[in-house]
C-alpha cells in the first residue's frame, strides 16, 4: 500500500505562499440531494472497495478555480477549503472555492494548517476564525478542521517535545471550542502523529485521517479507534484530495449541525 504522503511539495507559481503550504454547503434537497453518491460517475471513478457511503474533497490554492458544478455531478457532497496557515497566511483562493462549493450544493467548511513554530494555538485559532474557519449549526457549514502534519523546511516536530505538542494541540482545540461551541476536526496521518504526538488523542475530536489506499485504514493514530473522514486519494476522482465520510446521511447531518456531536473514534 502506498504510504501517507505529506502534502507540502514545491508549490506551483500560484497563490500559495512561497515558504511552502499544504497541497491539499448549501445542500440540494438535504445532505445527499437528488444525486446519490456511489452511483453514476462517482461510482465508476471510485474503486469498488468504496462503492458504499458518500464522498467529498478538500482543496487549497493548488486547485485554483474549481469547477464545482462538475465536482457535484461526479458525486462530491462536501468540501473542506484551505483558509489559513500559521498566524499570518490566508489562502487567496478561499473565497472563490468556499462560495463556489456552496453555490454548487456542497456542504463546505474551512481548514487551518497548524504551525506550532509560529505563534501560540489561541492566536492561530483567532486568525482562523477571522478568516473563514467559523461554524454555525445552519446545516451547510462543516466544523472547522485543523491540519497537523510535517513541514518540509522544519523539523518534523516543529522543535517541540511530545508533551509540548500535546499541549499545543489541546490549546488549539480548547480555544476553538470556547469560541464556536464545538471542537475542531483533526486531520493527520498515522506516522506523523504517532512519531510526534504519541499515544494520545484530544478529547472528543473527530478524526480526518490521511491514508492513500484501496480499503479503509485499520491502523489509526494515537488513541483513536475509528475515523469520521478518510482522505483516500490525491489523484481523483475529485479535484484536490478525495474524501469519504464514514457513515450514513443522517450521521453526516448530525456531524454538521449538532454542537454536541460525539466523535465516534475516542
The CA-atom distances, in angstroms, between 141 and each of 37, 79, 209 are 19, 10, 20
- Indicate the pairing of strand 54-59 with strand 241-245: antiparallel
Cis peptide before 237 (omega within 30 of 0): yes
Q: Active site residue: 85, 149, 228, 241, which one?
A: 149
Cell of 198: 504519541
**Beta-carbon count within 10 A of 68 CB:** 23
Q: Active site residue: 58, 85, 228, 241, which one?
A: 58
58 is catalytic: yes
149 is catalytic: yes
**Is the distance from CB of 207 to CB of 213 less than 8 angstroms?**
no
Cell of 234: 490525491
Cell of 211: 491514508
C-alpha–C-alpha distance, residues 229 and 50, integer Å: 13
Q: Active site residue: 16, 85, 147, 228, which one?
A: 147
Using alpha carbons only, give the angle 186, 154, 210 rounded to the nearest 5 degrees.
30
Cell of 11: 508549490
C-alpha–C-alpha distance, residues 244 and 227, integer Å: 10
Q: What is the DSSP letter of 86?
A: T
Which secondary-structure segment (H or E) carries 245?
A: strand 241-245
Active site residues: 58, 147, 149
Amino acid at each position: 500500500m502506498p504510504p501517507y504522503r505529506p502534502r507540502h511539495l514545491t508549490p506551483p507559481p500560484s497563490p500559495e505562499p512561497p515558504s511552502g503550504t499544504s497541497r491539499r454547503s448549501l445542500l440540494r434537497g438535504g445532505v445527499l440531494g437528488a444525486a446519490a453518491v456511489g452511483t453514476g460517475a462517482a461510482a465508476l471513478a471510485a474503486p469498488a472497495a468504496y462503492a458504499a457511503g458518500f464522498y467529498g474533497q478538500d482543496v487549497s490554492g493548488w486547485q485554483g478555480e474549481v469547477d464545482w458544478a462538475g465536482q457535484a455531478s461526479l458525486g462530491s457532497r462536501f468540501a473542506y477549503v484551505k483558509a489559513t496557515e500559521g498566524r499570518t497566511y490566508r489562502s487567496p483562493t478561499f473565497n472563490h472555492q468556499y462560495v463556489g462549493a456552496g453555490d454548487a450544493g456542497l456542504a463546505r467548511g474551512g481548514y487551518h494548517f497548524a504551525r506550532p513554530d509560529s505563534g501560540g494555538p489561541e492566536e492561530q485559532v483567532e486568525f482562523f476564525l477571522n478568516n473563514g474557519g467559523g461554524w454555525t449549526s445552519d446545516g451547510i457549514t462543516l466544523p472547522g478542521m485543523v491540519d497537523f502534519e510535517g513541514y518540509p523546511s522544519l523539523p518534523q516536530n516543529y522543535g517541540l517535545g511530545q508533551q509540548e505538542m500535546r499541549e499545543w494541540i489541546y490549546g488549539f482545540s480548547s480555544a476553538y471550542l470556547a469560541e464556536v461551541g464545538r471542537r475542531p476536526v483533526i486531520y493527520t496521518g498515522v506516522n506523523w502523529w504517532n512519531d510526534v504526538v504519541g499515544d494520545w488523542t484530544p478529547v472528543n475530536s473527530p478524526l480526518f485521517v490521511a491514508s492513500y489506499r484501496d480499503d479503509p485504514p485499520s491502523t489509526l493514530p494515537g488513541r483513536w479507534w475509528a475515523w469520521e473522514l478518510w482522505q483516500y486519494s490525491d489523484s481523483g476522482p475529485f479535484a484536490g484530495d478525495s474524501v469519504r465520510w464514514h457513515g450514513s446521511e443522517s450521521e453526516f447531518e448530525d456531524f454538521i449541525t449538532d454542537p454536541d456531536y460525539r466523535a465516534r473514534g475516542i
